[in-house]
């Protein structure tokens, strides 16, 4: 029994030690803020609407974990796109649409602040440029600008 308890505790500590801030990485934008998770998430949704995009999906394990008696930092993945871009992307590459919606990620830090992260649309769609050509690259560039504007508005 002591070995089982030790193993469970080791597993829990290993899991907890993996929780960390989002580090900058290729193709990502990572913006630390002084906002709470709830405030940043609310401001993100307002910015998405203001920039004529839509929230297509939302997901996060925090609520379900809480219902199971597990406490983890708040986090939410918000999928964003609009039909105008969807139709235009489809005209260039059917396969590229697997990447839509493109996601923002709002994560809570240990100090109670929140971080906004996302993969740039240009990075997400780059594997399809050979198929979608210059038109897809142009669309991805337009989406890069739109996502940047949304992120700036949400994090100000």
For 61-119, the pLDDT digits (tens) are 998 999 999 999 999 999 999 999 999 999 999 999 999 999 999 999 999 999 999 99
Place of tokens 């500590």: 13
Distance from chain centroid for Cα 72: 17
Global pTM value: 0.86
What domains appear along the chain, each with residue ranges and CATH number?
24-155 (3.30.310.70)
Q: How many angstroms separate the first and last alpha carbons of the chain? A: 53
């Amino acid at each position: 029994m002591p070995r089982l308890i030790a193993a469970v505790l080791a597993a829990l500590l290993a899991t907890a030690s993996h929780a960390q801030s989002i580090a900058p990485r290729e193709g990502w934008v990572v913006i630390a803020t002084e906002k709470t998770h709830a405030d940043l998430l609310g401001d993100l949704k307002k910015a998405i609407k203001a920039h004529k995009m839509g929230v297509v999906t939302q997901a996060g394990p925090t609520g379900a974990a809480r219902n199971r008696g597990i406490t983890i930092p708040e986090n939410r993945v918000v999928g964003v796109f609009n039909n105008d871009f969807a139709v235009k992307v489809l005209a260039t590459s059917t396969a590229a649409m697997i990447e839509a919606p493109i996601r923002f990620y709002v994560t809570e830090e240990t100090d109670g602040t929140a971080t906004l992260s996302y993969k740039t649309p240009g990075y997400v769609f780059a594997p399809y440029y050979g198929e979608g050509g210059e038109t897809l690259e142009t669309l991805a560039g337009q989406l890069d600008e739109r996502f940047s504007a949304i992120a700036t508005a949400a994090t100000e």
